[in-house]
Amino acid sequence: DQQVKQNSPSLSVQEGRISILNCDYTNSMFDYFLWYKKYPAEGPTFLISISSIKDKNEDGRFTVFLNKSAKHLSLHIVPSQPGDSAVYFCAASKGPFKNGQNFVFGPGTRLSVLP
């Protein structure tokens, strides 16, 4: 039973264009969401997060949008760069946060940015 889904296993985008990675979740109790980026042979690295009190969070080229009613979030990368080519994981969690947190991860989407 996948509580966090990333239905596109892969995505290819031209350099300079927008990349949109999607994530859906089923558990309405989730109220904190993160995106992680992972290069081959490395651990995931934190990219950006959003809590359920917001519907948008922006950090440089990366923006995460949250649609609570649709239980959907998306990561926008503008403009896309070849160095953005990686696997992107969406993760979700239930608050309140106390002594660490159990995040549920999606299966990842492999983004390829073509020069």
Partner 1 sequence: DTAVSQTPKYLVTQMGNDKSIKCEQNLGHDTMYWYKQDSKKFLKIMFSYNNKELIINETVPNRFSPKSPDKAHLNLHINSLELGDSAVYFCASSQVRGRDKTDTQYFGPGTRLTVL
List residues binding partner 1 (CB under 8 A). 32, 34, 36, 41-46, 49, 51, 87, 89, 91, 93, 95-103, 105-108
DSSP helix/strand/coil, 83: helix
- For partner 1, the closer of residues 25 and 108 by Cβ is 108
How, if at all, do strands 19-25 and 72-77 pair? Answer: antiparallel
Residue closer to partner 1, measured from CB, 43 or 60: 43
Are the C-beta atoms of residues 50 and 30 closer than 8 Å to each other?
no
* CB of residue 89 to partner 1, shortest distance in Å: 7
Which one, 15 or 110, has the nearer CB to partner 1?
110
Backbone angles phi, psi at 99, to 5 degrees: 50, 50
